[in-house]
Amino acid sequence: MYIRISIGLFLLFVGNVAMGSINGQAILGDVSEMLLLMAVAGFFVAAILSAEHTANQSKIDE
């Protein structure tokens, strides 16, 4: 779930950068882009930690 949110937010960022390069006007400002990338990184880290937890639980159950 976390990885899908991370990918979705990253695609939003890429879309914003593409709009800015095509039209010259980005939807989000600098601070909003920074916060968006921080959210992407946070959800990505949560996805990795969740996968690690699942892997460790399966090792313990064996």
Residue 50 — pLDDT band, cuts 50, 70, 90? very high
Token pair 């996968």 in the structure block, residue: 51
Q: Is the dihedral of CA 50, 54, 3, 45 positive or negative?
A: positive
Token pair 């882009």 in the structure block, residue: 33
Chain mean pLDDT for the chain: 93
Whole-model pTM: value is: 0.83
Predicted pLDDT of residue 25: 87
Q: What percent of the chain has pLDDT over 70?
A: 97
| pLDDT tens digits along 26-37 | 889 999 999 999
Q: What percent of the chain has pLDDT over 90?
A: 77
**Own/partner long-range contacts of 16-19 (Cβ < 8 Å, ≥24 apart):** none
Give the number of other CB atoms < 10 A from CB of residue 60: 7
